[in-house]
Amino acid sequence: MANNNSNSKTQFDNMKYEIAGQLGINLKQGYNGDLTSREAGTIGGNIVKKVFQTYTGNQYPQYDTTNKQQSK
């Protein structure tokens, strides 16, 4: 039985570092306890978006969070 775990982990790590670099977040190999929760969440959220887009072929839904006022 073939074990693709190491290949999957390598692909995931590559994607993680690529996304962090695009976002300007200094992600290093090993311990990254100096990252804020926001930075870590931003990396994770973008990973989810990329996986969703790859899996479905659709753009991940975008929401406007800048205008929080609701009209009556």
Q: Which two tokens stand for residue 67?
A: 């205008």
Whether 68 is in a domain gets the answer no
Whether 49 is in a domain gets the answer yes
Number of domains in the chain: 1
Residue 53: the pLDDT is 86
Q: Is the pLDDT of residue 56 over 80?
A: yes
Q: Is the pLDDT of residue 31 over 60?
A: yes
* Residue 66: count of CB within 10 angstroms of its CB: 5
Whether 41 is in a domain gets the answer yes
Whether 20 is in a domain gets the answer yes
Tell me the C-alpha to C-alpha distance, in Å, between residue 47 and each of 10, 30, 69, 71.
Answer: 14, 19, 29, 33
Model pTM score = 0.67
Domain range enclosing 41: 10-24+36-57
| 29 vs 62: CA distance, rounded Å | 31
Q: What is the CA radius of gyration of the chain?
A: 16
Residue 16 and residue 43 in contact, taking contact as beta carbons nearer than 8 Å: yes
Whether 71 is in a domain gets the answer no
Q: Is the pLDDT of residue 61 over 80?
A: no
